[in-house]
Amino acid sequence: MTFDTIIKGGTIVTAADAFMADIGIRNGRIAAIGEALEGAGTVIDATGRLVMPGGIDSHVHIAQPGAPEVVMAEDFTSGTIAAAFGGNTTVMPFCLQQRGQSLREALKAYHAEAEGRCHVDVSFHLILTDPTPGVLGQELPALVEEGYTSLKVFMTYDDMVLKDRELLEVMAAARRTGAFVMVHAEGYDTIRFLADALEAEGKTAPYYHGPSRPVAVEREATHRAISFAEITDVPIMIVHVSNRQAMEEIERARRRGLNIYGETCPQYLVLTEEDMDGAAMEGAKFVCSPPPRTTEDQAACWEGLQHGIFSVFSSDHCPYRFAEDGKLTAKAHDGFRWVPNGIPGIETRLPILFSEGVKKGRISLNQFVALTATNHAKTYGLYPKKGTIAVGADADIVLWDPEMTRTIDQADLHHGCDYTPYQGLEVTGWPVMTMLRGRVVTDGETLVNEAPGGEYLARERSPLVEGRQAL
Ligand code: DUC
Ligand code: ZN
Ligand code: ZN
């Protein structure tokens, strides 16, 4: 046999092209792309399907430690199964350094969570909360060499916020080591100032999460982060951008020649601040940071996707159950500031972008692939092994039914959360088969292989850091 598997009769879509051809897979990699390939033990009929690179979700939270009374509603088993059913073949969660902890300790514990549980490939970003001279001078350079080539910093949250000086030190260390920096851009002091004022007026319902972190909070922090990146001469990714003003900061910086990149997420395309205004605690189901904004900001996020201001579209999957160990802790009833920030989305990211984007004529099929797979691989040092359909690439492939219409329903999802903020949203286009390194992981509603076949991926430095590539 020439191939282990042939995918026959589908339309292959990459970030650049769409064409009809067969794919021959051997030893987990794409060995041939051609017309009428023959000679395989297994032939998969892809007639009427789009054949695309498996989704890469470069921003997810899985089994991340947090406040003692709160449990993240996802471990690596459920998270990666949900990812596969959602058409993804690689996910990139965050390994959180808790204050006082070394990066190596954090990584040891986080690898133990993932080991033997992953149904898709995984690779970790670091979250730096305690950037001591030892962390920046010794640990980080060694870890970057070992393939931990990206890190996230926070400009807010009591247990994660970095002072401006620390942000600068981290960026300077990234410059020296070649790490790629992701920034959560919301200002700590402004949020506390506004939250205190709202609480003093008795405005404690989940809805007030939004007013405690208005657009100006995000815009100011985005501007500050960009300024620090300019001063330290590093490219950065502003993650989970929610609104026009923050997007315009990125756009302006890029026009000035700075290598500033942007990410947006499904919640900023289809949710609004009104969703946090539900009866009782219902609004807590939509509390995430930055918060969903207005329909005008949704339109701005679409423009950012269309014009390349946002190069990656990620889920920011960060699930907490609508229960006492999640969104509804005793403290959460006292006020919005205690509601854990984050919503699930690992399984619904691709259908939402396809349906709202491709089907509604806002983005092309090629942009869809770039935004959901190729640009993630390019940004985070996985390309061309991941993120495209090409000879030599891993056979990470999703077969997509572009005509299937479904209503998103919690009962059909596989994630560990007990609700979806997208309940009832009708989408057209759905992943019908996900294949990881040539092995079928999901086929329709079936998890084909119960044995987890995902691997940990050490990554190259981002080519964006080395100025080898622009997005
Ligand atoms: N930032 C994230 O990236 N995810 C969830 C919560 C947050 O603040
Ligand atoms: Zn964040
Ligand atoms: Zn996140």
Task: Give a yes or no: residue 166 inside a domain.
Answer: yes
Q: How far is the CA of 213 from the centre of ligand 3 (A)?
A: 16
Pocket lining: 316 vs ligand 1, CB cutoff 6 Å: yes
For a pocket test of ligand 1, which of 57, 61, 74, 154 has the largest count of ligand atoms closer than 8 A to its C-beta? 61
Asked if residue 49 has pLDDT above 90, the reply is yes
Give me 439's structure tokens. 């092995």
In this structure, the answer to whether residues 47 and 71 fall within a common structural domain is no
Is residue 302 in a domain? yes
Query: Is 27 a domain residue?
Result: yes
Give the pLDDT score at 278: 87
With a 6 Å cutoff on the Cβ, whether 152 touches ligand 1 is no
- Both 84 and 179 in a single domain? yes
pLDDT digits (tens, 9 = 90+) for 79-91: 999 999 999 999 9
Q: Could you tell me if the CB of 289 is within 6 A of ligand 1?
A: yes
Which of 317, 340, 370 represents a domain boundary (last residue)? 370
Q: Across all residues in the chain, what is the average pLDDT?
A: 97
Domain stops at, among 370, 394, 428: 370
Same domain, 243 and 326: yes
> For strand 40-45 and strand 3-8, is the pairing parallel, antiparallel, or unpaired?
parallel
- At 417-436, the pLDDT tens digits run 999 999 999 999 999 999 99
Residues 47 and 112 in one domain: no
CATH number of residue 347's parent domain: 3.20.20.140
Residues 37, 350: Cα–Cα separation, whole Å: 29
The range of the structural domain enclosing residue 107 comes to: 55-370
Q: Does the beta carbon of 186 sit less than 6 angstroms from any atom of ligand 1?
A: no
Q: Structurally, how many domains does the chain consist of?
A: 2
What is the atom index within ligand 1 of the atom nearest the CA of 152? 3
Taking the C-alpha atoms of residue 453 and residue 291, their distance in angstroms, rounded to an integer, is 35
- Tell me: do 362 and 429 sit in the same domain: no
pLDDT in tens, 229-271: 999 999 999 999 999 999 999 999 999 999 999 999 999 999 9
CA of 318 to the centre of ligand 3 (A): 6
* Ligand 1, atom nearest to 290 Cα: 8
Q: Are residues 136 and 28 in the same domain?
A: no
Same domain, 66 and 182: yes
| The pLDDT of residue 373 | 99
Q: How far is CA 368 from CA 157, 220, 372, in A?
A: 33, 30, 6
User: Do 235 and 328 fall within a single domain?
Assistant: yes
Three-state SS annotation for 208-252: HHHHHCCHHHHHHHHHHHHHHHHHHCCCEEECCCCCHHHHHHHHH
User: Could you tell me if residue 464 is inside a domain?
Assistant: no
Q: What is the percentage of the chain residues whose pLDDT exceeds 70?
A: 100
124 and 99 assigned to the same domain:
yes
CA of 70 to the centre of ligand 1 (A): 15
Report which ligand 1 atom has the smallest distance to the Cα of 342.
Answer: 5
Confirm whether 465 is domain-assigned. Answer: no
- 301 shares its domain with 160: yes
**How far is it, in rounded angstroms, from Cα 218 to Cα 221?**
5
- Is the residue at 379 inside a domain? no
Rounded to the nearest whole angstrom, what is the distance from the C-alpha of residue 184 to the centroid of ligand 2? 4
Q: Are residues 44 and 84 in the same domain?
A: no
CATH of the domain at 7: 2.30.40.10
Q: Is residue 34 over pLDDT 70? A: yes
Q: What is the pLDDT of residue 272?
A: 98
Residue ranges of alpha helices (H) inside 130-187 are 133-134, 140-145, 164-177
> Does residue 308 sit within a domain?
yes
Number of other CB atoms surrounding residue 137 within 10 Å: 13
**Residues 321, 265: one domain?**
yes
Q: What tens digit of pLDDT does each residue of 262-304 get?
A: 999 999 999 999 999 988 899 999 999 999 999 999 999 999 9
